[in-house]
Every structure is written in C-alpha cells, then in structure tokens.
Amino acid sequence: MSEEQPPNSRRTSFRAGVPAGRVLGVPLVISPFWFVIVGLLTVGYAGFIRHEAPTISRAESYGVSLGFVLLLYASVLLHEMSHVAVAQALGMKVQRVVLQLLGGVSEITEEKPGTPRREYLVAIAGPMTSLFLAAVGFGVRPLFAEETVPRLLADVFAVTNLIVAGFNALPGLPLDGGRVLRAAVWQLTHDKVRATIAAAWAGRGLAVLVALLPLVRIDVLDWSTSGNLWFIAIGFFLWTNATWAIAQAKVSAVLPRLDVRAMTRRAMPVTADVSVAEAVRRAREGGARALVVVDGYGRPSGLVSESAVTSLPSERQPWVPVSDLARPVNSDVTLQTDMTGETLLEAVQNMPASEYLVVDTSRAIVGVLARSDLVAALQAAGLH
C-alpha cells in the first residue's frame, strides 16, 4: 500500500518505529506493534501447521510458523518496494517505508505537480508484485511432495499473496485500488482534491463493509471469533486512513489560499518599562490587537501573549511592566510575509506557540499572527 504525503506533512499517527536500515536508499522503519502481530500470527499459524502436518512436533510447528510469518512480511516488503522503485523512477521522493500493524506503507511525496498517469503507475505496482509472488508460490508447489511442510508453506504463501493482491486492489483509499480510482477520477475531472475525497469516501464504505463482515456468519471463512476481530481492526484501519486522506485533501486545497498578511494582527510596539495597562490603552487607541516589546532602536525583543494579558487582574495591570508578560523573540517565533501556505503551516507545526511575530523581507515588524487565527482560517475552509 502506498500513501501520498503532501510536502512538509507532519502526520502523527503510526509514526513511531524502530529503524531497520535502508532499502533502495529509503529508510525502513518497523512499528513496535509489528512485533506483537508477528508473535500472535506465529502462535495462530502454529496450530494450523500442526493440523495440516500432524507428524510435526509442537516445538517445530512454532519454528515453521515463525519462518512463514517472516516470509509473509518479506513479501509485504517486496510489495512496498515495488511502489518505491516506480515512484523513484518517476522522480518522486519516498520518505520511508513502514512495516506496521496490518502490512506496510510507503510514504511518497510529490515534489512536483503530479499526474493521474504517475498516480496509476505507482499504485498498480504493488498488486502486480503480489500477483507475481502468488504465481511463484503456485509455480514451486509441484516441486514438493504432498503433505509436507514445504508444500504447505508454498500453498499458503501463494494463497496469501493472492489475497493481498485482491484486497489491495479494492477501490478505496488508502488501498492501492483507491489510488487507481483516484487517478481515474482525477483524469476525468482534472481535480485531484475532488478525486481524493471521492476515493476516500469509497474507502470509508469499504471500511464499513469489512467491519460488518463478521456478522454475515458466526464464523467468517471458518475463522474463530478472535479471528473475526481482525475484520473489525482492518475496518477501523481503513476508516481512519480514509478520513485522514480527506482531511489532507482539504488542507492541500486551502494552503495556497492562506495569506499571512490577511491573518496578521496589527501590533503596537512598546518599550519594556511600559505598564500592561498603558500598553493595552495604546493598543486600543491605535486599533492594534497585539503587543510587541521593542528596544531603544525599535527592534523587537518580546511578544506579549494575549492570554497572559487577559489572565492578569485589571487592578494589577498598572503596576506590572509589559516585559514581565513578554516571551523573548527569536527565529522560533518569527514568520515572514513571503511564506507560502505550505511553508507557513510547516513553520507553525515545527514551533508551537500562541503568537508569532510577522516581519517583512527587511525584518521590519508587520504584526503578530495568533495561532488561533490560523486555526480559524482553516476551520472556515471546512477543515474541522
């Protein structure tokens, strides 16, 4: 499964992981939950192997099961690396590959305007690789005798990769089939945002169907009740990622329209010895909604938080110098008016603060951007 990350994206879910080297020059990360899943699958497949190969001992069944699970994830890694190889060949940047709870994810970034064709080529590579691996499994099975462990593993490997290919081909984000669907809608509408939202809603529909699948029978595909919980987990995974894709599509549509100057509050410069009450009075008379502490040369040295002013009792404001409420100004809380929407959002994400000093290219004070104003602008665009 490939996943498109907008430039400068800072997604937080499923981010933690254990570095495991590089493949094709791309960092490989293993989610901590992956080790838990490997353990659970090893125990689960051990019973299946003992049932299908009664001559094998209990201890041997766990070893064989672990080997099969690792082989299965190796095929998942090959699936992901096919996405990586095609993306790199098309000039895309791959941030990393993650082996996680329910498979793998390739985090791909478009450094230049994408096209439906590129989207399709990257997406289709994964299922085609899984189909190839299934064919390999079916091709080698006649080399092994009936009712032997190698024959059993070849059969299960082939069938599993066939299922992976079929499941990933389903038309809904975040699956590969969802990216194919997005490419098709994108080609027809010439609107990537609309195509992404359509494919993500299809993914939400798939999520509901998968989560409800255990209700069709008491034991879906003869699985145990605990096995049916996997369908619920997969449904939750699909819904969560489809929802994230919708949010990211809306963000990508809004970012180019973000105007730093339009959101910047007019600031009143005051020296450090001015009282809070006097600074507030000057700001009100001057129609300013923010306070910036400056030195004798007019250079900014501190930002006064709006919440700090409102939380200071009015009877104390005449006796407290505004510098007591100011936070030092440095590059971490300074934004420039020439920042684009994407660059602006990245800067705010990288340096959390309630207010930011906004300066022009000559470093002259333009005003103050309140984080709440930026959030309001995003919400007004439908990004709740």
pLDDT tens-digit readout, 141-157? 999 988 788 888 899 89
pLDDT bin (cut points 50, 70, 90) of residue 34 is confident
Please, which pLDDT band fits residue 226 given cuts at 50, 70 and 90?
Answer: low
pLDDT bucket at 351, cuts 50 / 70 / 90: confident
**Contact 348/260 with Cβ under 8 angstroms?**
no
The residues near 311 (Cβ < 8 Å, ≥ 6 apart) are none
CA nearest 108: which of 127, 124, 91?
91
Over pLDDT 90: what percentage of the chain?
40
Distance CA 340, CA 172 (A): 31
- Are the beta carbons of 185 and 195 closer than 8 angstroms? yes
φ/ψ of 318, rounded to 5, equals: -70, -15
Q: What is the pLDDT of residue 8?
A: 46
Mean pLDDT score, 160-177: 93
Which domains does the chain show, CATH number per domain? 2-257 (no CATH), 260-380 (3.10.580.10)
The tokens for 25 are 């020059």
Is the whole-model pTM more than 0.85?
Answer: no
Q: What is the pLDDT of residues 104-148, one digit of tens each?
A: 888 887 766 689 999 999 999 999 999 999 999 999 999 998 878
Per the CB < 8 A criterion, the answer to whether 280 and 382 are in contact is no
3-state secondary structure of 287: coil
